Structure 1
Amino acid sequence: MPGAFQYKPRFVDIRVRPPSEKDAAEQDVHALKPGERACDHPGCMRVATARAPKARDMLNEHYWFCQPHAAEYNRNWNFFAGLPEAEVRRRQQEEMMTGGRPTWEMKAGRMSREAAAFTAKFGTGQGYRDPFNMFGGGGQHARKPEPESRKIGKIERNALADLDLDENADAAKIRARYTELVRRLHPDANNGDRSGENRLQRVIRSYQSLRKAGMV
């Protein structure tokens, strides 16, 4: 065979060389990059990505952990450890009411300059006035509270309507109106005329409904 067509291998030795210690260090996935910090858990060389407070009274000082060790630290950390039971309840109540944040009254003190100026100006035309008692000041045009209407059902409301009474009619007024209608609609009072007999039966049923409801 001519020499031009003979096979000549490109590489003499194609065996894979085992990596050196330097190459292994460069390929370490847990190796820290510039600017990264290691986890504070003993023996852990992972990158620290989460922080946790060191103690209840040191909330501004933190440990730095990787995610698994941060989760473990949070599971085992008790904020109320070492506190008396009464103090624990007080802090829990405060957390529920204000979220643990300090609160202040949104008004000036009784002896403050603002309160003295308001007292001096009130009623002189320069301060706040409420002549119509819109804010409960008790002015001369104060609105009187309207009486609450009695809460009754549909049956009782229709019964009062049959007696030509409003919803606020009391027991005495209902009895008087019932007696008046019975005397007016009864056939004996109309020389035997039964034209008002249907109305009379409706009046009687309405009165019985009101008695059953305890309104008479």
Structure 2
Amino acid sequence: MPRAFQYRPRFVDIRVRPPSVEEEEKAKADAVGLKPGERACDHPGCRKPATAKAPKSREMLNEHYWFCQPHAAEYNRHWDFFAGMSEGEIRKRQQEELFTGGRPTWEMKAGRNSREAASFSAKFGKGEGYRDPYGMFGGQGVKREAPQAEARQLGKIERAALADLDLEVDAEGPQIRQRYTELVRRLHPDANGGDRSGEHKLQRVIKAYQSLRKAGMV
């Protein structure tokens, strides 16, 4: 048989592989025809250009999601600035808004890096006129414990995505990838004898993983 007609089998990898961030952005740009300088909506699955921004959470007012107009309106309808706060915390926040406009205030004294503070610290370092057995003023006393790292702050979309993957809010990249792989293997019809009862959950898992990739958590 001539070589041109020899049978050459082809093997196709049927495993589910999420698209890369570059592929995802390119697909969105091709689908909606984004103009230079425009960005796609951050809502999972949306391919419209983003025209409005919304804060990610109460603790992250300087960080924003970018949404198209319909998804921005939907996000704002469910936005509750005081969600999760006690009555006392709400009253305190309202008083801060009333007296200071919610902005931070500072004491009228020399800053930590000022010349006066440096001179004062130098005198205390020499132990002039005082005893500091516990090192409260920078001496060689008892060492204080290092401050603990602050908890990671997440937006509403990232928290929902972690919940869809059955993970806690402090989950890191390797743990997210491992859980995603486990759920895909468990829910994909090719891996469980053609059972399609978990397809809806599988779609949510894939969308959640893409959201976390887009947020730079994976």
Identify the structure with bigger relative contact order (alpha carbons < 8 Å, sequence gap 6+).
2
Tell which structure's C-alpha radius of gyration is larger: 1
Tell me the TM-score normalised to structure 1 length. 0.36
Query: Taking structure 2 as the reference length, what is the TM-score of the superposition?
Result: 0.36
